[in-house]
Copies of this chain bind each other. A is one copy, B any other.
């Protein structure tokens, strides 16, 4: 292994000069700078991350905290992982993955061992233990999502309220007056999951605003088959139903199929919107579903940016960002035709 000492010797300068040259922490004469970098290049020198971390008390590693898989995360999570890692690397940080299998105790241990400088919390719940712990420890973190009352916390999240309003409004403009919302029935560990709770509230508010709109709200498990039965049930309750918004990606194809099997045509007799979600699912279904698209890349990038700012920024700043989802019109929505 080639160390900073090797560079110093070969460049005929002191260790500290090399260090300062690398970090640009203090002025170096152009001449010696050149010489130093030439030697570094020649010997293929790379500053040792551990030594740096120990001396500077900064590891330049951040962690992504997310619920274990198999609880209906789906494609969205994939995007978050990948984009967050890329965004982090671009600003000089490595991203480690911390699935929630970690007990609270284990999380605490990992937080205190100094491997990571800060964490990004994904899939934040209305009441979130992880957030409570991070605050208690005064550990740097940012959230993709937000808790119930994030007054003094920074976060980036989707503007679910605006998004739901957009979706409902779009349907209303198409003439729909009987609209159902099918939510995801979360496993216990995701109880209080922000988007799940807020999307429902937002839907309710959005429909209340419009006079003459009748709305129904239901939840079904995050499973492919979950959609099939709910449709008949909904139609029994309100035979005049003409539109469905579902926040349950996995159930969406089943819902679509169920509607078709009952003899309805999409979008002539029935309109469907899925979201917020990643477009993957929506594009695959037939017909392709109109969807509220999660701005995954942007959320990831901002989440990283916020955390890094907290780690490096001079003055702490409170940034609370809400990004609306884009409503992508596909083949599953159309003007409302009253059925006889």
What residues make up the interface of A, taking CB atoms closer than 8 Å to B?
Answer: 1, 44, 46-51, 53-54, 59, 61, 66, 68-69, 73-75, 77-79, 81-83, 85-86, 89, 94-99, 101-102, 109-110, 112-115, 224, 250, 253-254, 257, 280-281, 283-286, 288
Q: Which residues of B contact A81 (CB under 8 A)?
A: 78, 81, 97
The distance from the CB of A303 to the nearest CB of chain B, in whole angstroms, is 14
The distance from the CB of A83 to the nearest CB of chain B, in whole angstroms, is 7
The distance from the CB of A230 to the nearest CB of chain B, in whole angstroms, is 15
User: When chains A and B are docked, how far (Å) is the Cα of A83 from the Cα of B85?
Assistant: 17
Q: Which residues of B contact A283 (CB under 8 A)?
A: 224
Taken together, the copies of this chain in the complex come to 2
The distance from the CB of A311 to the nearest CB of chain B, in whole angstroms, is 15
The distance from the CB of A284 to the nearest CB of chain B, in whole angstroms, is 5
Known: A94-B115, A253-B285. A73 touches B78 (CB 8 A): yes
Q: Is the CB of A89 within 8 A of B82?
A: no
User: When chains A and B are docked, how far (Å) is the Cα of A187 from the Cα of B317?
Assistant: 42
User: Closest residue to A102 on the B side, CB-wise?
Assistant: B89
Q: Which residues of B contact A1 (CB under 8 A)?
A: 114
User: Closest residue to A261 on the B side, CB-wise?
Assistant: B286
Q: Is the CB of B97 within 8 A of A69?
A: no
Q: Is the CB of A86 within 8 A of B112?
A: no
What are the 6 closest A-B residue pairs judged by CB atoms, nearest first?
A: A50-B53, A85-B97, A69-B82, A49-B115, A78-B78, A46-B112
